[in-house]
Amino acid sequence: MSARAARTMKKSKNLEHRMTKEIDEKESLLKNLEKVDPLTMLPVSTHHHQLVVAEKVQVGFDLPLFQPISFTLTRGDRIAIVGDNGSGKSTLIRALLKQFTGMQSGHLTLAPVSLSLVRQQYTDNRGTLVDFAKQHQLSRETLLNNLRKLGMPRADFNTPIEHLSMGQQKKVELARSLATPAALYIWDEPLNYLDTYNQDQLVAAIKHYQPTMLFVEHDEHFIEQVATKIIRLQP
Contacting residues for 34 by C-beta, under 8 A, at least 6 apart: none
Q: What is the pLDDT of residue 228?
A: 98
Q: Which of 194, 234, 206, 231 is nearest to 216 (CA)?
A: 231
Whole-number Å distance between alpha carbons of 177 and 196: 19
- From start to end of the chain, where are the E strands? 50-60, 69-74, 78-82, 103-110, 115-118, 184-188, 213-216, 229-232
User: Cα-flanking dihedrals φ and ψ of residue 170, to 5°?
Assistant: -65, -40
Chain centre to alpha carbon of residue 52:
20
β-pair type (69-74, 50-60)? antiparallel
β-pair type (78-82, 229-232)? parallel
Instruction: Reduce the DSSP state of residue 98 to 3 states and report it.
Output: coil
Chain centre to alpha carbon of residue 9:
50
The CATH number of domain 50-232 is 3.30.1310.10:
no
Whole-number Å distance between alpha carbons of 216 and 82: 6
Q: What is the pLDDT of residue 188?
A: 98
Let me know: does 144 contact 156? Beta carbons within 8 Å.
no
Whole-number Å distance between alpha carbons of 132 and 9: 61
Q: Which of 64, 102, 94, 81 is nearest to 232 (CA)?
A: 81
Q: What is the pLDDT of residue 140?
A: 96
Whole-number Å distance between alpha carbons of 132 and 163: 14
User: Cα-flanking dihedrals φ and ψ of residue 127, to 5°?
Assistant: 85, 180
Residues of the chain with pLDDT under 70: 1-37
Tell me, yes or no, if the pTM score tops 0.85. Answer: no
User: Cα-flanking dihedrals φ and ψ of residue 56, to 5°?
Assistant: 50, 50
